[in-house]
Structure 1
């Protein structure tokens, strides 16, 4: 955002854009404040999965906490109410489910921030017009998933992304062509509806054609939970059951590549501010200070200055 929107409406517009693009994020909303906190009731911000914040919920003391907690909320898909205040306020009664995080900012303000995860729905692409394919699409629709059923001759017009889930249910009518197309598109998941023997033969044929083994190794076949002897329509139920199980276990989220680049592999390590004990990124933007060859980082400049004045007092608390 180019400027602070005190009512947070620009943030909601941005949230809609990210949701439509399939980008997971957390929406942070200030629901209570104690003066002189710089955050205001109704202030909002978005935190993306790669740790970027857009919007405003408070100053330098609040932002590192919200960034850290928002990433956990996105990963768990569970909302969280945060109470950010001074250490003495940690003894006050909190709403059920709220989490207290102590801050040592000089303003001594306090905030309650509600973190709400927004996780994209499953993008399911089913190839084929078999009874199993039709049943699978119909049932996935009832779950609110984004579903598309396409014929194997229409694959050139289909666009899938790194979070898409592809199920090949052509059942003997061009299985090889459909599976090759699916694995080369590298979605989050590829499943083939087939018997174990048929699936083995399809993958063997594609390997002989030169399809890389690392791509073929991602194909789940036979896809679907083993429900015993089932009808063609019930195969669709079995496939959906396995997809729901995998989604609940986070399989699609861990294998999918985000639409925006994840920075977890390159992100700075974290450190504990020795003054306020907040977790902060150990980078040049968080006031590094060296004492006897060891480096310490801080949530804000006041914490840095208090430490620099008497490092021994704070290091003694840590047993250093």
Structure 2
């Protein structure tokens, strides 16, 4: 229950049968986390290690139930049931419905991602940005991968909003020229360079893709590569914590605000952040009132 509440993924292992010679006993159970740590005892160190490795691979996949027969070091045979639980890898795909997005969604689901498609059309971008904000508040960033495929139509607005929650991966379907223009725009908006550099654009690994299905495959291959690298290096659960010294003061109400707050304004090249849209509007109505000189 503690693992579920924490949003962590784990697998429950049950020994269904054991044929001697084997140290494992039918009915034994254990919990295996994504990083390979275990709770409970199955017996037989070499077989247990093999089961743990199998659990980790399964949890990186589609999350179904699996029954496996394994030969033990002593020559016996055990049959185990592996049941994954908890958070799955979440892939957010942003863009108007197209053959490319349909292919991306299909391939992503095959390799085990929970896919959410946020549809965006030229007439509903503002509404889509609001829906994106609601979605980002509902998911855990340590499980989130995001792909923006609005084909150059205000893609920077969606990327900016996604970057603020620091997901594991952000990819953009764009040309190299468009990717560089977006990078400059994000930096001008005050997004830290280390976050901007994490954006993969053009998204996908080089497989010489030409057809839409091949392009989709190259993109999901890159997402899987990032996912598996983070899993094997133990980076999945690590999210930077904001220290008090990293916070800014809302000039209107005095609250401490994270530097990547969604509520900010830029006046004469200076970026000011706020706790809410209301404080932002109050500030913008009379910026001089909150200048250091006026408070001297």
Give the TM-score of the pair, scaled to structure 2: 0.56
Partner residue in 2 for 1:126: 93
Partner residue in 2 for 1:160: 139
Partner residue in 1 for 2:72: 83
CA RMSD of aligned residues (A): 4.1
In 1, distance between residues paired with 2:231 and 2:92?
A: 17
Alignment of structure 1 residues 1-320 onto 2, 5 Å:
21=7, 23-25=9-11, 27-29=13-15, 31-32=17-18, 40-50=25-35, 52-58=37-43, 62=44, 68-77=49-58, 81=70, 83=72, 90=74, 93=75, 112=78, 114=80, 116=82, 118=84, 122-131=89-98, 132-141=100-109, 145-150=113-118, 151=120, 152-153=128-129, 154-158=131-135, 159-161=138-140, 162-225=142-205, 227=208, 230=211, 234=212, 237-244=214-221, 246-247=223-224, 250-251=228-229, 253-254=231-232, 257-258=235-236
Partner residue in 1 for 2:289: none
Q: Is the 8 A contact 2:35 2:234 kept in 1?
A: no
Q: Is the 8 A contact 2:163 2:170 kept in 1?
A: yes
Aligned residue pair count: 215
Q: Report the CA distance between 1:24 and its aligned residue.
A: 4.0
**Residue 239 to residue 203, structure 1, CA distance change in 2 (3 Å):** farther
In 1, distance between residues paired with 2:159 and 2:170?
A: 8
Q: Is the 8 A contact 2:11 2:33 kept in 1?
A: yes
Q: Report the CA distance between 1:80 and its aligned residue.
A: 7.5
Q: Report the CA distance between 1:81 and its aligned residue.
A: 2.5
1:163-192 CA deviation, whole Å, 9 max, x = no partner?
222101112222111112222222221100
Give the TM-score of the pair, scaled to structure 1: 0.53
Partner residue in 1 for 2:293: none
**Residue 83 to residue 66, structure 1, CA distance change in 2 (3 Å):** closer
Q: Is the 8 A contact 2:91 2:145 kept in 1?
A: yes
Partner residue in 2 for 1:5: none
Q: Is the 8 A contact 1:32 1:41 kept in 2?
A: yes
1:110-158 CA deviation, whole Å, 9 max, x = no partner?
xx47484849754211012152334422453455531111144221111
Secondary structure of the residue aligned to 1:47 is strand
Higher CA-based Rg: 1
In 2, distance between residues paired with 1:245 and 1:192?
A: 12
Is there any run of 5+ residues in structure 2 with no aligned partner, and where? 60-67, 121-127, 240-296
Secondary structure of the residue aligned to 2:215 is helix
Q: Report the CA distance between 1:54 and its aligned residue.
A: 3.8
Higher RCO (C-alpha 8 Å, min separation 6): 1
Secondary structure of the residue aligned to 1:155 is helix
In 2, distance between residues paired with 1:36 and 1:66?
A: 9
